[in-house]
Amino acid sequence: MFLMLQDMPVLCRRYSCELPLYSVFCYSVPMGPDYTQWHGSYEVAKTFYTEFIPEAEALMPGVTSEVMSNPYHQWTKGLSKEQLQLQLDFYKKRYNQ
């Protein structure tokens, strides 16, 4: 339905011209570059880690092990006790606690 409405011209009272319907909506939705980049990255990451990887593992066990062993995905394994203690010590020292 949206695609059919998108091509319908809408009378613009301010400039006395016809604009496509999507042009009217562009000014009322918060789609700045920062919002679009963050939200796009968030959606890709959320889908990748919560849907794609589990589904690939369910279909072919072990197929994602090489990808997930990459340093970019190490955060999914969590911190070791030593790494956690280093972070806690750093912030205690930084904030004098």
Name which of 83, 82, 84, 57 is nearest 68 in CA terms.
Answer: 57
Residue 14 scores a pLDDT above 50: no
What's the pLDDT at 29?
57
42, 26 in Cβ contact below 8 A?
no
DSSP state of 31: -
pTM: 0.53
Two tokens, residue 25: 């909506």
What's the pLDDT at 1?
37
**Gap between the Cα atoms of 25 and 37, Å rounded:** 19
Chain-centroid distance of CA 87 in Å reads 26
Residue 43 scores a pLDDT above 80: yes
